[in-house]
Amino acid sequence: MFEVHRIVTDLLGLFQFADISQFLLPKVGVGAEIEAKEAIAMAPLIKYTLIFLAGMSTVFGFVLAFAAKKFAVKIDPRVEQVNDVLAHAHCGACGYAGCEQYAEAVVKDPNVSPSLCIPAGEKAALKVAEITGKKAELKEKELARLMCQGGLDKSQKKYAYEGVLDCRAAVLAGGGDKSCIYGCLGYGTCERVCPFDAIKMGSDSLPIIDKDKCTACRKCEAACPKKVIEVLPAAKAVLVACHSRDKGADVRKFCKVGCIACGMCVKVCPFDAPKIDKNLARIDLDKCRVCGLCVTKCPTKAIEDFIEPRPKALVLDNCIGCQICAKACPVDAITGENKKKHSVDQQKCIGCGICAIKCPVQAIDGTFNAEQIRIAKQKAKKEKEAAAA
């Protein structure tokens, strides 16, 4: 024991020239300084230890039990049930601080809608509605969409940016390094902000949004300094993927895939959905039937079609040969004589689905919207029958 002490003091002596022994031998110690005693009477020691510990635990037990009883907070069991159903991403898309707060609000406040948890989706909304006895208003599925296609090789840069690799930092340096001030900067802020791992940066430094993982929580929309991500209904899959309000000539200079506001889409659209406003075409989502005609005509390929590949039209046997589809087809892919089954030229067909919309007997199948139209027509038929009865 003495040896050890000597070695320690010798070692400390080495440090003394630097006068840092204060740190190595602090005066207060966690071990505390209990004086050693000559002799210990074992019997009373064990006795007092047992009595003291038993006494203390009893006191604490009673006090805690009393507190638990007296200060009990009644928690509605439904809050917990609702909480279990929610997505637990704590994304704040519902407008509350966290999932628990929303669960409490939806149980207590009759005005709070049960379908606010977007990440958990439709099933959770139905379950929450069931638990709380409310009616779920089903929301259309939405997705985050990137409104820019100007990747590294398709767009120009005005200077070489070498700062912090984050869009929110890059935008401070003269609005970012892209020549187009509306374009995606590509430093991956959305990727880092996404709580569902749905956004990955692609090789051309544009984010790729995974449509299966995206829950439309709008975190990326809020974080993007260029506001180039928009959360839109998933069914509306044809969009002008450009935000540039520059004049056409400038757009052409900065980017190969920007909207130059030529008005081609306005002319070609059979449903009158695109509008040109301040040098930018925007598609009115209420009017758009997702036919994709504008996609084929756009000279700069600024309109993006998210249905890829588009399935082509087929004519079923119940065709009555009315020739309505042949007239409606924008690319003249349908041919056929009156009162005979028509045929579709698979080479010419672009899968726009207009024929499926126009056909009076649902004899066209295979297009992306055929299923929807059939369901809608059946529903209308049932309603009509119900009304007649």
Partner 1 sequence: MNEFVKLFELIISASLVNNFVFTWFLGLCIFFGVSKKMETALGMSVTFTAVMMISAAISWVVYKFIMVPLNIEFLMIIVFIGIVAGLVQGSDTIMRKVAPALYYKLGIYLALISTNCIILAVPLMNVGNKYTFIESLAFAFGSGVGFSLALIIMASIREKLELADVPKHFKGLPMAFIVTGMIALAFTGFAGLIKH
Q: Which is nearer to partner 1, 194 or 260 (CB)?
A: 194
Q: Which is nearer to partner 1, 11 or 67 (CB)?
A: 67
Q: Which is nearer to partner 1, 170 or 216 (CB)?
A: 170
Phi/psi of residue 144, nearest 5 degrees: -80, 130
Which residues are 343's β-sheet partners?
335
Q: How far apart are CA 292 and CA 218, in angstroms?
A: 26
Whole-number minimum distance, CB 113 to partner 1, in Å?
Answer: 23
Q: Which is nearer to partner 1, 30 or 249 (CB)?
A: 30
Amino acid at 93: A
Q: How far apart are CA 345 and CA 367, in angstroms?
A: 14
Residue 280: strand, helix, or coil: strand
> Site residues (CB under 8 A) for partner 1?
22-23, 26-34, 44-45, 48-49, 52-53, 56-57, 60, 63-64, 67-68, 71-73, 164-166, 168-169
Q: How many CA atoms lie within 13 A of 65 on its CB side?
A: 6
Whole-number minimum distance, CB 61 to partner 1, in Å?
Answer: 9
Whole-number minimum distance, CB 73 to partner 1, in Å?
Answer: 5
Amino acid at 378: Q
Q: Is 303 left (phi over 0), alpha (psi -120 to 50) or beta?
A: beta
Q: Give the count of beta carbons closer than 10 Å to the beta carbon of residue 8.
A: 12
Q: Which is nearer to partner 1, 44 or 299 (CB)?
A: 44
Q: Which is nearer to partner 1, 27 or 278 (CB)?
A: 27
Task: Single out the residue of 81, 112, 85 nearest to residue 96, CA to CA.
Answer: 112
In this structure, are residues 361 and 318 in contact, taking their beta carbons and an 8 Å threshold?
Answer: yes
Q: Which is nearer to partner 1, 6 or 27 (CB)?
A: 27
Q: Which is nearer to partner 1, 30 or 389 (CB)?
A: 30
Q: Which is nearer to partner 1, 25 or 375 (CB)?
A: 25
Contacts of 112 (CB under 8 A, 6+ apart): 102, 105, 106
Whole-number minimum distance, CB 64 to partner 1, in Å?
Answer: 6
Whole-number minimum distance, CB 203 to partner 1, in Å?
Answer: 19
Residue 376: strand, helix, or coil: helix
Whole-number minimum distance, CB 205 to partner 1, in Å?
Answer: 17
Whole-number minimum distance, CB 167 to partner 1, in Å?
Answer: 11
Whole-number minimum distance, CB 83 to partner 1, in Å?
Answer: 15
Residue 270: strand, helix, or coil: coil
Whole-number minimum distance, CB 294 to partner 1, in Å?
Answer: 40
Q: How far apart are CA 32 and CA 48, in angstroms?
A: 21
Report the Cα–Cα distance between both ends of the chain, in Å, rounded.
104
Q: Which is nearer to partner 1, 22 or 347 (CB)?
A: 22
Beta strand extents in the chain (DSSP E only): 142-146, 199-201, 207-209, 229-233, 238-240, 274-277, 280-283, 303-305, 314-315, 334-335, 343-344, 364-365
Q: Give the count of beta carbons closer than 10 Å to the beta carbon of residue 240.
A: 21
Whole-number minimum distance, CB 170 to partner 1, in Å?
Answer: 11
